[in-house]
């Protein structure tokens, strides 16, 4: 990976207004590509663009070594955002207890066991190739 990749703490994100762009699940990891809302408490925060209400950063949230997954995919179709990209909506719920995660949104309902996710920010073109 290039040196432009930066990790961010989950506590520095506001998930409810973030936009899910892609979800990949394979035997090694669950990867969620999203335009995340970065809170002012983060060192990666910048002022929002003139037409946006939040500071958005494209990132991949990766859950490695997951187990006991349930994913009920939504029947709702995806949307196309203002930039012409697929948008699966936001996070309606993101909770964890004892390494068990529950994530709900327009994309469906997921629950699984995993360690704390790693969230990696990058330049937009590079982030697209990560997921």
pTM: 0.84
The answer to the question of residue 68 being in a domain is yes
Residue 40 included in any domain: yes
* pLDDT at residue 111, as a whole number: 97
Q: For residue 64, which of 26, 33, 36 has the smallest C-alpha distance?
A: 26
Confidence label for 31 from pLDDT (cuts 50, 70 and 90): very high
* pLDDT computed for residue 123 by the predictor: 59
Note whether residue 108 is domain-resident. Answer: yes
The parent domain of residue 58 ranges over 6-130
Mean pLDDT of 31-57: 93
Is 1 a domain residue?
A: no
114 three-class SS? coil
More confident residue, 103 or 86: 103
Q: Between 129 and 51, whose confidence is greater? A: 51
Q: What is the pLDDT of residue 84?
A: 77
pLDDT at 122: 58
- Domain total in the chain: 1
Domain-located, residue 69: yes
């Amino acid at each position: 990976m290039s040196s432009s990749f930066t990790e961010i703490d989950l506590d520095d994100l506001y998930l409810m207004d973030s936009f899910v762009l892609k979800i990949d699940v394979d035997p090694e990891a669950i990867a969620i590509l999203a335009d995340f809302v970065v809170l002012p408490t983060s060192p990666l925060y910048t002022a929002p663009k003139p037409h946006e209400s939040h500071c958005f950063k494209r990132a991949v949230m990766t859950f490695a070594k997951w187990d006991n997954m349930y994913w009920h995919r939504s029947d709702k179709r995806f949307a196309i955002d203002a930039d012409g990209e697929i948008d699966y909506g936001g996070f309606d719920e993101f909770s964890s207890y004892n390494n068990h995660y529950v994530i709900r949104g327009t994309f469906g309902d997921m629950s699984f066991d995993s360690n704390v996710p790693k969230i990696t920010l990058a330049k937009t073109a590079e982030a697209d190739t990560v997921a």
